[in-house]
A and B are shown apart, each in its own frame.
Chain A
Amino acid sequence: MQQRRQLDEKQINRELLNGNLETPKWYYPVMGVLGVGVLIGFATILYMFNRGLGVTGLARPVYWGLFITTFVFWVGISHAGIMISAILRLTQAEWRRPVTRAAELLTVFSLLTALFFPLVHAGRPWRIAYWLIPYDWARGIWPNVRSPLFWDPIAIGTYLTGSTLFLFVALIPDLAILRDRTTGIKKTIYSMLALGWRGNPRQWQLQVVAGVLLSALMLPIFVSVHSIVSWDFAVTPAVEGWHSTIFAPYFVIGAVHSGVSAVVTMMCLMRWLWKWNNYIRPEHFDALARLLIIVATAWLAFTFLELIFSLYGRDAPEIALRELQMFTWPWNLIFITFLLTGYIIPVGCWLFKRCRNNIAVMFWTSILVNVGMWLERFLIIVPGLSRKQVFVYTWEGYWPSPVEWIILVWSFAWVSFLMLLFAKFFPLVPLFEAKESQVFTTEMKVGRATVPMVIRE
């Protein structure tokens, strides 16, 4: 199962920098397509700002729909970064090495995208853009500290700051390598960013300490960000199906599930696009899939618990909601799809070693997971609002309008665009991690067997 190969430094440098020192052939066409998608998306958003939220499908009583679903979805995906870089770093798991930077990058860009959605979904976005910054902009009124919508930007902003710092600190050694291999304006920029890195022992020690400190500090954020986002929903007693104590850990574990699957998707793409077969190996997918099985099963347990406890009180409004959510068209189809794509099909595949080591299977199952997780958020938010309390003609349906779908697709195009843009200028696999893994892993003979060995930090 261990597939490590002996690589020397020059080979590592050359292979991992092949996207930065020259541009691959597929790069510009792909960026062109994504760029068009991004522009269409921005144009649609501006159209919506101009005409008003009437262009969406929102109505009474479903005041939150696709935008908030996508917001929660992107915050969820952002949890991959911490899981992989901080937790796996603190537990010294060797197999994290190729993916730390890509995961952190995904975090940063998905958080940026997530922050778009509360802006976009508000009735007066030009006001909400700055009225939530803690300062009395108008008439001496500060934002309402009691509102979960105020906690959201604080939590996400903290996470964003921490992740960006983390990303940058880990990027410095690679920036120095690029500085030393480029000329002209690129060299100037890389030099500025590399902050004078020389690679001497003192600097390496500082870098490691910074990484460990940031990892430890980010762990509480990891749990609290999605808990706070979940409290947007959980604190209102009026909406059946939302006012449940389990929302916080349920959302956090769903986020880990979704985020780590997104990292798997990204790893497959990285391997294919830049031909990094030496660095992203089937053993990484195997380890990730096993982690995902545990996470997904825990997530399923939480889903099950949430359902049981909502029905246990035998409250008529809650039962009415669950009837809609699970048994009424079109929600019954969405519910079954969500269960199948979020858990049954992926975990069913991942239980088999052949599937875990097969890159194509991992790619498609990880995409399925994220489809399922988006549907999960949709299923939590919209049916709950459709069937609030038992008043006459306040039970309504909701279907997103074309404007909302375009903006959903735009968010994916935007994140991909940003990531590819980053990949043009900076290596996606940390060079120093690849080199470290060469040094930190070795082999020992135990009897007649040869066992891989890892040096403990």
Chain B
Amino acid sequence: MIEVPVINNTEKFNSATNSLVSSTKEPLGGKLKLIFGIFGILSVIGIISLILKITTVGFDVKSGWGYYAAIVSLLLGVFGTAPMVAIAPTIAKADWHRPVSRIATMFTLAGISTSILAIPLIFALPPLVVGGIRRRSIWFDANIYTPHVFFGIAVIGLFLVGLGLLWVTSIPDMAIMRDHSSGWKQRLGKSLSRGFVGTERQWISLRARIGMMGTFYFMFLIFVHIIYSVCFSLELVAGWKDAIYPMYHAATGIQSGVATVIIGLFLFRKYWKLEDHIRIDQFWALSKLMFATTIFWFYFFICAFMIFWYGKSAINEMTIAILVNGPYMPVFIGTLLLSFIVPWWIIIWNPVRYSPWMLSVVAAIVLIGSVLDRIRLYVISWQVYSDEMIHKRYIPLDEIPENMIAPSIFDIGIFVGFISLGIFAILLATRFIPVVSIWERHQSILLTRHIKFHRTEVYAVGKPD
């Protein structure tokens, strides 16, 4: 066994604490007010677009809500799934995620966008009983407003659990803010940390709460993905039966979540000057996740495609016409390229994975691919829906529309505006919550070591249970 020397970590602790506490102050210079202003204005544009859409388009013209549904799905994937990058490695007891987890968890604040956007969609979704007949649904014989109510509860619940997760994982940092800052930050830190002083019992209870919140969040997330993907697109197309669809939706959501965290990590590292805390290790590990989730996109897609292509029954032909080679074929090709072929081909090269900015470029490509993917799935579903067609066994090939619909100006406004609203909420939080969690940084300092091993130096990680 190698002898590991005992060292005094106080110096490192203090410097980490100070640098991270001060990162909540003006990191961008005077530009911060400008950025807040821009995002604020865009958010207001988003809200106005939403109101205008509801009043002008109305809830009866279903084809007008396709892009809207795609946006909500995108936000669920991008903002809703980002915290999984923090939760999953925690359960797996990895060590690289420690500097990343706060940024990942903060994306739940952007869930405010998803929650607001979900509500009009509940009214737009056709009820379970249409034209006097119950349409096909995984809710079988439930109450006719079932998916709507459950979806609303699920999305808002996800947001609330996310807030809970964010709070629970930042309690020690609140305590540090209480002890190391002044003014409103000190007062807020005092009330949010609920008397946390770092006794052993408090730590044990905190860990238990984090574990529970994380698991809860994961379960809620999967639930939301299943309900949303099935009730808001699969069920609207008569005859589309695809058991892998919710998993595909969740897996591609994770892909966009990882991509979002990579971009967020890159930007925060650069502009909040966190190079000491966020190192190449984090990007290296995230790149492997990005790689794996990109392949998963392809795998889940092929699983579905193989069955539809080989089966050649009327339902299978209809499904392929809707999803692949019908009116949205250009969008499908774009997705195939940007969600799989291009990112995969770039990310297999090691130099890309060692470089934060190159990885962010790949992540951006993946995000654009995700946008196209959601458009491909949701816009056609809402476009082919009609009260008469929904009860048929399948939609005949000649009834499938020939042309794509373009997004309306309100859809674009909502897209830009609500993403800005999410980012605005996150930026607002960084004024108070340190972007890299201080207590986890302390953990890394305590547990990771470079030790001499024969003639070389190795990197060792302590793994307490």
Contact = CB atoms under 8 A, between A and B. Distances in A.
A227 B2 CA distance: 45
Nearest to B247: A249
B313 interface: yes
Given A249-B247, A310-B243, A455-B453, A443 B307 contact: no
Contact of B446 (A220, A248, A446): A446
B447 interface: yes
Nearest to A441: B1
B313 A237 contact: yes
Contacts of B462: 444, 446, 451-454
A439 B456 CA distance: 14
B461 A454 contact: yes
Contacts of B306: 231, 234-235, 248
Interface in A276-330: 301-302, 305-306, 308-314
A246 B458 contact: no
A456 B460 contact: yes
A435 to B, nearest CB: 13
B1 A455 contact: no
Contacts of B242: 245, 309
A246 B247 contact: yes
A173 to B, nearest CB: 19
B207 interface: no
Contacts of A441: 1
A245 B460 contact: no
Interface residues on chain A, size class: 35 or more
Contact of A2 (B1, B3, B308, B465): B465
Contacts of A310: 243
A249 B458 contact: no
Contact of A309 (B4, B6, B241, B447): B241
Interface string A57-92: 000000000000000000000000000000000010
Interface residues on chain B, size class: 35 or more
A243 B2 CA distance: 57
Contacts of B18: none
Given A244-B307, A309-B243, A442-B1, A1 B465 contact: yes
Nearest to B464: A451
Q: Which of B2, B6, B446 has the most CB of A within 10 A?
A: B2
Given A234-B307, A312-B138, A455-B458, A245 B244 contact: yes
Interface string B309-338: 011110010000000000000000000000
B426 to A, nearest CB: 30
Interface of A: 1-2, 6, 91, 220, 223, 227, 231, 234-237, 243-249, 301-302, 305-306, 308-314, 438-439, 441-446, 449, 451-456
Given A444-B447, A453-B461, 9 more contacts: A231-B306, A245-B242, A305-B243, A311-B140, A314-B136, A449-B464, A453-B460, A454-B460, A454-B461
12 contacts: A246-B244, A305-B226, A311-B140, A312-B137, A312-B140, A444-B4, A444-B449, A446-B447, A451-B463, A453-B449, A453-B461, A456-B459
Q: Please name the 10 residue pairs, one residue from A and one from B, whose CB atoms are nearest each other, closest first.
A: A246-B243, A309-B243, A235-B310, A245-B244, A248-B303, A237-B311, A444-B4, A451-B462, A245-B304, A237-B313
